[in-house]
Structure 1
């Protein structure tokens, strides 16, 4: 499925990066493992919750660099051919993973916790004062005050 973002480019200024992020997200589908939710907690607060059953804190790594959040999970003794364990049926995925999330400008990771097999990553958007909306006063034109045209 291809989505045409051309109308968004024509009617907006400075949102080309946003459209590219959406386009890349739909093109780079990473499958369904591990499953995750993205939740809006407040106007500028978000939470990513990932189901990471069987992983401990030591097995997980979270990195935030530029506008990318990377979550990796690796089991130190991944089941291979050398494993002493023999499964009759294995429905619980215990494989390693790497999941990437593109973050918008000014979004940073503020906390991460692991509870009951769920990894919670809390994010917050902090817009700098210089970027916040400000009121512009309308003044008189200096050319019109002196009677000159």
Structure 2
């Protein structure tokens, strides 16, 4: 018996990209740091909130790359100028990747009280009805 995958199902034409998207999402390599929340703020908008305590605005970079929202944090390590008796807070880099669906745009980003908020908006696609004309085949 042949197992049908999403991209090979006979009624789902052109969905091969969705299968590649699922594979790419599984390979993002997020290690759990920093912790984050995703909330739906309205019918067509979302907010991603990352806990980035200790990061300044200039330590963070937010980009959209190939339909993915990529948030990077890079702190400068000034530990050679300080003497720690105990070091429980490390200057740690991170990269968090979120795959965006078609029609989802990144809005504004706000850093507030150690939390980075990134707003996303989903556009409503226009409803299109297309009529296809049927031609007669040429008789030989």
TM-score range for the pair, normalised by the shorter chain length: 0.7 to 0.9
Q: Which secondary structure state, in structure 1, belongs to the residue aligned with residue 32 of structure 2?
A: coil
- For structure 2, the 5+ residue unaligned runs are none
Structure 2 counterparts to residues 85-124 of structure 1, below 5 A: 85-90=83-88, 92-124=89-121
Output the CA distance in 2 between the equivalents of 1:97 and 1:135.
45
Deviation at 1:87, TM superposition (A): 4.0
Q: Which secondary structure state, in structure 1, belongs to the residue aligned with residue 5 of structure 2?
A: helix
Residue 75 of structure 2: aligned partner: 75
> What is the TM-score of this pair, normalised by structure 1?
0.71
Deviation at 1:116, TM superposition (A): 1.6
Output the CA distance in 2 between the equivalents of 1:89 and 1:23.
38
Note closer, same or farther for the CA distance 1:64–1:28 as it changes in structure 2 (3 Å cut).
closer
Output the CA distance in 2 between the equivalents of 1:96 and 1:8.
36
Structure number with larger C-alpha Rg: 1
Deviation at 1:109, TM superposition (A): 1.0
* CA RMSD, 1 decimal: 2.9
> What is the TM-score of this pair, normalised by structure 2?
0.75
- For structure 1, the 5+ residue unaligned runs are 144-149
User: Would you identify which runs of 4 or more consecutive aligned residues in structure 1 move more than 3 Å?
Assistant: 134-137
